[in-house]
Amino acid sequence: MPPKRVNTDDGPSRAAHSRESSTGSARHAHTPATPSQLRQAHVPSDRSSSPEELMHPQRYYDDEERPSGSDRTYDIDISEHGIRPATDGSSAHAVQGNVSPRQEAISDVDFEPTARSRLLNQQNLDEGFGYGTTSSRPGAHRSYGSFAGSIHSDNSFGGAFLGQNDGIEEVAPDAAHALLGDAVAEGVLNTGNGQKKSTTKRLADRHGVKNQRMMYLQYYIPILNWTQQYKWRYLKGDLVAAITMASFYIPMALSYASNLAHVPPVHGLYSFALNPLIYAILGTCPQMIVGPEAPGSLLVGEIVRENIKKGASGDNDGRRNAEIAGVVTCLAGAFILVAGIFRLGFLDNVLSRPFLRGFISAIGVVIFVDQLIPEMGLARLAADQVSHGSCIDKVVFLFRNVGRAHGLTTAMSFTAFFIIMFFREFKKRLQPRYPSVAYIPDRFLVVVLSAVLTWHFQLDQKGLAVLGQVNSSGGSIFAIHFPFETSHLKYASDAINTALIIAMLGFFESSVAGKSLGGGDPHKDGVTMPISANRELIALGTANITGGLFMALPAFGGYGRSKVNASTGGLTPMSSIFLSLITILCTVFMLPYFYYLPKGVLCAMVSVVAYSLVEEAPHDIKFFWRIRGWSELILMGLIFFITIIWDLKRGIGVGIGLSILRLIRHSVRPRIQILGRVPGTTNHFTNAEHDPENIEFIEGCLIVKIPEPLTFANTGNLKNRLRRLEDHGTGKAHPALPRVRRAEHNQNIIFDVHGVTSLDGAGAQVLAEIVESYRKRDVRVFFCRVPSEHSPVYQLFDKSGIIEMCGGTRHFVHSVEEALRMTELERLTEDWGSEAGSSRAVSSGLA
């Protein structure tokens, strides 16, 4: 087949060399006929062809036959002034007529588009990389998961992306939207009129959401959402779960108040009477049960004991001690509520899974050991020796005094513990085959039976410790008391630190419970709600502030308690409402009947919950051991032993400190990569440090990939990391190693910034300084895969002067392959300019 003719813009046509006769075969669009040193490492011999060439023979086009649109390539002009991109939209690689053989050697040709190249070109168009150039786009917008038939449908799931040709001009948010947010500005104040519409409102208008105010109300007041999903068949499970929870957590709340917090027992009931009800209105986790916890009650008891030591209160001054507990609860709720208002719910992600598992397991061990003392009838003896000691001290105390244990109390406590554990495992094994076994109120039966036996046989007169008389400290049930009176400020100043720890501990434990249970499964029975950490903070904060007005104990979502609720049939927040109603009825009518409840049985049920907190630790330990997650195992063990050996406060402090340090270390470390080309390809580049033996390095070029957003946090050490790549060709080498990479290998720096989805001012400043440093050393700098020119990242590139320092928008290209092509053109342009300058100098000298 005779060769085609390639017509230039202003010169006669000349014969285009065929593949066989061309000095530099047309293997790749960017490869010159005579490869420079930049390409020598990668151009195969003339006797070889790439797989693409063997499959798709290439032919040349005349200008009028040249494909357009997605098949266009770079246009260059070659003249006496060197090589530069063409200023018109004509042939991408047409050359001028009167050129020297050197210039002919660098002329490019267009190849016939193949199925693969068409797909790649179409992908480039769809990605929308616009670096100051104009690219043709499809007439219709892309549809998310829909075909062309639904692209133009306004009511379809797909359709055009909002913000592009949707008929609404983008405008800056007004003051109401900026300060209050879309929900308040549009859902409450109804300011979303005219052109100033948020994305949420435009989507709602497009898809026919009529009552948008109710949409926001259902989101921020979840009871309006889940009540519409409620079905009558959920009632049985919710009611049985509430009765089961009340059967052992109501007595447990009495035990927390009297034994741990040192306040009248009825104030423990207030936590179950009020907090679950408020959480059912505002909370987002359907199966989570809010109530007092042993760690929080212990911390409240420490504040109470400190005030007793100072003389501000007394052991028998129940009213004053309850007021102190109310102050602590209100402060903890205020901390949580403020965190929710300022949208600090992301803080639950600061603590890693190993920390949470180690800390929760330690809490389980601490609670289990604490309950062994009253279960063996050693509470009075321990009050004088180890009541304020660590978990290790209490274990030593138990071994030394095991012979002095009260036999009747020990027998009843351990019997209750083993009965509950037996039914727990029994129901766990049978529930997959017989789901109805979850409704057996085994713990309720154990509590009732033990109370009846104690009353009938008068076991309290034989030394069995019972709960005793339960009265309200204020003289009346549910008496409201404002905790921040002037006379209580001295308690508040002492309780701030402890209240903050209680708030953090309660929030993290609630977060664990919420993440474990989720917002409901749409494929199973129950209601579904979107879980939000910020709304959880608001719900928990509101509940504790309300509880503090009644001098209740701090109440948060309990992991073990919520698991019991789910396993006994609780599906919706209605179980929390039932639990509150049952607790209120018990508080009003049944306080005298709590007299004969054995304390050992109550402690046995607490021990079962403590066991449930520890039982999942072996699974996590095996997992991290299998994947060799040594750092996670060390962190888990460290938190566990610090909490066991010292106390909860130190365990929390060390755990939070280590987690924050790990997070900071992870966020400030740049993750830049040096790229190399996969052999046999032209546009496939990968991390060269993973397999350096099977990667082709581009001579004279350093290709650096930045796979993450650039902020003030991770750009501080970016210069040093780049220097390592320049000196050693890898970021894994120690800085003490002398320079092993020659300077000529860094003549061109190519940054692949596809992962830089955001850029702040500090990051832009550091990047501008890096580019300026390279340009001062006459190093060419190119950027590829930068976001579109309308993006904030590109705007910062422009405003910071990076584009100008690099040499203009022609140094911002679509891919690494095009950047390599531009490095070759830049080098040849400089060589051409130097040769032309030398020729003029010689000519002037001869003249």
Tell me, yes or no, whether 702 and 811 share the same domain. Answer: yes
- The two counts, helices (H) then strands (E), for the chain are 29, 12
Q: Is 546 among the domain residues?
A: yes
Q: Band of the pLDDT at 526, cuts 50, 70, 90?
A: confident
Residue, of 411 and 645, whose pLDDT is higher = 411
Tokens of 312: 């501000």
Which phi and psi angles does 297 have, rounded to 5°?
A: -65, -40
| pLDDT value, residue 190 | 59
Question: By mean pLDDT, which of 46-55, 595-604, 661-670 is the weakest?
Answer: 46-55
| pLDDT value, residue 668 | 82
Q: Is 155 among the domain residues?
A: no
How far is it, in rounded angstroms, from Cα 832 to Cα 106? 12
pLDDT(326) > 60: yes
Tell me, yes or no, whether 675 and 710 share the same domain. Answer: yes
**Long-range residue pairs from 90-93, CB within 8 A, at least 24 positions apart, any chain:** 90/9, 90/63, 91/6, 91/7, 91/8, 91/9, 91/63, 91/66, 92/66
Residue 734 one-letter amino acid:
H
How far is it, in rounded angstroms, from Cα 291 to Cα 271? 6
- Residue 778 DSSP SS3: coil
Q: Domain end: 664, 680, 706, which one?
A: 664
Residue, of 191 and 81, whose pLDDT is higher = 191
pLDDT(380) > 90: no
For residue 693, count other CB atoms closer than 10 A to its CB.
4
Q: Band of the pLDDT at 176, cuts 50, 70, 90?
A: low
Tell me, yes or no, whether 446 and 575 share the same domain. Answer: yes
- What mean pLDDT do residues 709-730 have? 84
Cβ distance 759 to 792 under 8 Å? yes
Q: Domain end: 664, 694, 712, which one?
A: 664
| pLDDT value, residue 205 | 79
Question: By mean pLDDT, which of 553-567, 767-781, 812-826 is the weakest?
Answer: 553-567
- What mean pLDDT do residues 463-491 have? 76
| pLDDT value, residue 844 | 62
Q: Is 489 among the domain residues?
A: yes
Q: Is 457 among the domain residues?
A: yes
What is the residue-wise DSSP string for 386-451?
TTTS-HHHHHHHHHHTGGG--HHHHHHHHHHHHHHHHHHHHHHHHTTT-GGGGG--HHHHHHHHHH
Question: By mean pLDDT, which of 9-13, 191-195, 419-423, 580-584 is the weakest?
Answer: 9-13
In sequence order, what are the residues at sequence separation of 6 or more whose Cβ sits closer than 8 angstroms to the Cβ of residue 552? 267, 268, 270, 271, 274, 275, 292, 325, 326, 329
pLDDT(593) > 70: yes
Tell me, yes or no, whether 405 and 382 share the same domain. Answer: yes
| pLDDT value, residue 581 | 95
What is the domain range of residue 65?
1-127
Q: Is 169 among the domain residues?
A: no
DSSP secondary structure letter of residue 675:
E
Residue, of 162 and 308, whose pLDDT is higher = 308
In sequence order, what are the residues at sequence separation of 6 or more whose Cβ sits closer than 8 angstroms to the Cβ of residue 439? 236, 237, 240, 568, 569
How far is it, in rounded angstroms, from Cα 763 to Cα 710? 5
Tell me, yes or no, whether 105 and 24 share the same domain. Answer: yes
Question: By mean pLDDT, which of 130-134, 382-386, 600-604 is the weakest?
Answer: 130-134
Residue, of 19 and 746, whose pLDDT is higher = 746
Q: Band of the pLDDT at 227, cuts 50, 70, 90?
A: very high
Q: Is 194 among the domain residues?
A: no
Tell me, yes or no, whether 640 and 683 share the same domain. Answer: no
Q: Is 239 among the domain residues?
A: yes
| pLDDT value, residue 449 | 92
| pLDDT value, residue 773 | 92
How far is it, in rounded angstroms, from Cα 56 to Cα 44? 18
Token pair 């050490």: residue: 717
Tell me, yes or no, whether 652 and 726 share the same domain. Answer: no
How far is it, in rounded angstroms, from Cα 419 to Cα 252? 17
Tokens of 296: 């929080």
| pLDDT value, residue 799 | 93
pLDDT(290) > 50: yes
- What mean pLDDT do residues 733-751 have? 85
Q: Is 187 among the domain residues?
A: no
**How many domains, the chain?**
3
| pLDDT value, residue 782 | 95
Tell me, yes or no, whether 443 and 403 share the same domain. Answer: yes
Token pair 């009265």: residue: 471
C-alpha count within 13 angstroms, C-beta hemisphere, residue 222: 25
- Residue 496 DSSP SS3: helix
Q: Domain end: 636, 664, 692, which one?
A: 664
pLDDT(228) > 70: yes
Residue, of 62 and 463, whose pLDDT is higher = 463
| pLDDT value, residue 567 | 74
| pLDDT value, residue 283 | 93
Write b or e for each residue in 807-845: b if 16 or more Cβ atoms lie within 10 A of its Cβ, otherwise e.
eebbbbbbbbbbbbbbbbbbbbbeebeeeeeeeeeeeee
Residue 474 one-letter amino acid:
G
Strand (E) positions, 57-190? 76-79, 82-85
- What mean pLDDT do residues 419-443 have? 83
DSSP secondary structure letter of residue 263:
S
- The mean of the pLDDT values for the chain is 76
Tell me, yes or no, whether 406 and 358 share the same domain. Answer: yes
Question: Residue 764 class from Cβ within 10 Å (0-12 exposed, 13-18 middle, 19+ buried)?
Answer: buried
Tell me, yes or no, whether 603 and 467 share the same domain. Answer: yes
| pLDDT value, residue 474 | 58
Write b or e for each residue in 595-612: b if 16 or more Cβ atoms lie within 10 A of its Cβ, otherwise e.
ebbbbbbbbbbbbbbbbb
How far is it, in rounded angstroms, from Cα 147 to Cα 145? 7
Tell me, yes or no, whether 317 and 423 share the same domain. Answer: yes
Tell me, yes or no, whether 525 and 588 share the same domain. Answer: yes
CATH number at residue 779: 3.30.750.24
**Alpha-carbon distance values, 461 to 500, 598, 633 (Å):** 43, 12, 50
